[in-house]
């Protein structure tokens, strides 16, 4: 059962909180002693901490609350902390939100808002605990996979990629052709490397060809070679990639761009292992395993007459479908960390911006953004701006902090929106818009 730990020095307040939660089927423990609170947290079973900012009679500075908050964060960083604060401690609460507190609740609190906040934090903690269990199970499984196979340094956390990698090593020792599908930049070449590295051919070459980067006039000579004089400008013998890969693996990327004559010759190689160089009638034999990749829909290409159906079925004996990065967001931060330059780290706003992005360019875009941050970021902590994100990404990551800053400015201005706007460097209308967006309601105080 989920449990909330209340750390509050005023018995009447603690009793009121426990009664509120008990009436709403939320289990609680309460203490007025920070040391006792730490012992409870270290024993485990605490899912949310609801803490006051002062624990000694007459204390108003909030220093005791700061100390407890930091002890909890150090001992149990996964446990959400909700701060209970009087107006005199609001500025301290704002600072702790910046340091990672989940939220703050002013005294006297609104029962409905407090319950909604705590329920939300308990729900998030339950999801986090389940994810931690699943992650631990996946980590054990991945550890076995990494111990038994060469995964070529691939970085991932998601179940989706784990399924792809597991299938890749499973079919690696067979000799069947493999079709690797997925959008540009998703990691298809890395999957091809894993298949080759765990195959019987791993001591032989892995030859890579990007068919999408070659004009139609050069694809055939690139793959099958050409005799001198076979075409204009061919002054010497050209050894094709099939011959270079003999005994090993040929990875043919962007297979959907292969010309019709190239497709016909490729089909023949797959059927018989035979081909001719351009300009030659001599038949040559090779022993090559073919891995192909495409970001195109080859079935649509077949329907248009642009891709041979018989070649498609030859290539697609096993398909490894690499999902786009937006469908495996668990991989974003681990990948980003792997691309970080030495001495750099991601700030919280940058991490939030990375998770919020849709990644149309997939892993390649992520790598490029980290390279950009390394080139232009002057500080050790990487910001959303360093990554090339707009201010909107940072804004979404800092909503709790901004709300607290606005409320503090209004408090300091004794409820005057005009003076608060001036202190924040905003127009009165702009501040009203921000208040509406952030759900800040100005309470009218009796005169």
What is the reported pLDDT for 87?
Answer: 65
The pLDDT-based confidence of 197 (bands split at 50, 70, 90) is very high
Taking residues 180-199, report their average pLDDT.
Answer: 96
| Contact between 196 and 249 (Cβ < 8 Å) | yes
H runs (alpha helix) in 83-227: 90-98, 111-148, 159-171, 188-197, 216-224
Q: Which domains does the chain have, with CATH numbers?
A: 3-129 (3.40.50.2300), 156-323 (3.40.50.300), 326-396 (1.10.8.60), 398-438 (1.10.10)
| Contact between 149 and 143 (Cβ < 8 Å) | no
The H or E element that residue 251 is part of is strand 249-253
What is the reported pLDDT for 21?
Answer: 94
What are the tens digits of pLDDT across the range 338-351? 999 888 889 888 89
Task: Give the chain's mean pLDDT.
Answer: 87
The H or E element that residue 179 is part of is strand 178-181
Give the pTM: 0.61
| Pairwise pLDDT comparison (411 vs 4), residue with the higher score | 4
Dihedral through CA 28, CA 29, CA 30, CA 34, nearest 10?
-120
The pLDDT-based confidence of 393 (bands split at 50, 70, 90) is very low
Question: Which region among 64-68, 206-210, 326-330, 422-426 has the lowest average model confidence (pLDDT)?
Answer: 422-426
What is the reported pLDDT for 245?
Answer: 95
In this model, does residue 444 exceed pLDDT 60? no
The H or E element that residue 376 is part of is helix 362-376
What are the tens digits of pLDDT across the range 158-183? 989 999 999 999 999 998 999 999 99
CA dist., res. 434 & res. 442, Å (int): 12
Task: Kindly list the distances between the CA atom of residue 172 and the CA atoms of 47, 151, 175, 196, 241, in Å, as whole numbers in the listed order.
Answer: 44, 12, 8, 7, 21
Task: Report the relative pairing of strands 284-285 and 274-275 from DSSP bridges.
Answer: antiparallel
What are the tens digits of pLDDT across the range 242-278? 999 999 999 999 999 888 888 888 898 888 888 889 8
The pLDDT-based confidence of 445 (bands split at 50, 70, 90) is very low
| Pairwise pLDDT comparison (419 vs 303), residue with the higher score | 303
């Amino acid at each position: 059962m989920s449990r909330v730990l209340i750390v509050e020095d005023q018995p009447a307040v603690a009793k009121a909180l426990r009664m509120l939660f008990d009436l709403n089927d939320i289990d609680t423990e309460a203490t007025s002693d920070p040391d006792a609170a730490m012992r409870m947290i270290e024993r485990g079973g605490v899912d949310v901490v609801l803490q006051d900012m002062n624990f000694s009679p007459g204390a108003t500075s909030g220093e005791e609350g700061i100390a407890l908050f930091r002890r909890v964060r150090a001992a149990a960083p996964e446990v959400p902390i909700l701060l209970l604060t009087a107006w005199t401690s609001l500025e301290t609460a704002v600072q702790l939100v910046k340091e990672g507190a989940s939220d703050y609740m002013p005294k006297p609190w609104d029962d409905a808002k407090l319950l909604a906040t705590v329920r939300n934090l308990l729900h998030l903690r339950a999801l986090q605990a389940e994810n931690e269990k699943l992650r631990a199970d996946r980590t054990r499984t991945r550890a076995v996979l990494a111990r038994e196979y060469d995964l070529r340094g691939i970085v991932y956390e998601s179940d989706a990629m784990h399924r792809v990698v597991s299938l890749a090593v499973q079919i690696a020792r067979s000799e069947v052709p493999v079709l690797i599908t997925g959008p540009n930049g998703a990691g298809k070449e890395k999957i091809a490397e894993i298949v080759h590295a765990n195959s019987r051919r791993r001591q032989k070459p892995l030859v890579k060809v990007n068919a999408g980067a070659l004009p139609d006039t050069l694809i055939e000579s690139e793959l099958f070679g050409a005799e001198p004089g076979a075409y204009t400008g061919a002054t010497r013998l050209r050894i094709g990639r099939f011959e270079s890969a003999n005994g090993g693996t040929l990875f043919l990327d962007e297979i959907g761009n292969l010309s019709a004559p190239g497709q016909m010759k490729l089909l023949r190689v797959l059927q018989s292992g035979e081909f001719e160089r351009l300009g030659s009638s001599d038949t040559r034999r090779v022993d090559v395993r073919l891995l192909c990749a495409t970001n195109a829909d080859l079935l649509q290409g077949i329907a248009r007459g642009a891709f041979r159906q018989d070649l498609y079925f030859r290539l697609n004996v096993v398909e490894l479908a690499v999902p786009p990065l937006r469908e495996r967001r668990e991989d974003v931060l681990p990948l980003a960390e792997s691309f970080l330059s030495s001495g750099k780290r991601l700030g919280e706003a940058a991490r939030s911006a990375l998770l919020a992005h849709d990644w149309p360019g997939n892993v390649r875009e992520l790598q490029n953004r980290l390279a950009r941050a390394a080139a232009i970021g002057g500080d050790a902590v990487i910001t959303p701006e360093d990554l090339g994100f707009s201010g909107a990404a940072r804004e979404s990551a800092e909503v709790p902090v901004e709300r607290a800053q606005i409320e503090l400015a209004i408090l300091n201005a004794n409820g005057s929106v005009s003076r608060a706007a001036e202190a924040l460097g905003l127009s009165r209308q702009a501040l009203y818009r921000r208040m509406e967006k952030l759900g800040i309601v100005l309470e009218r105080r009796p005169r």
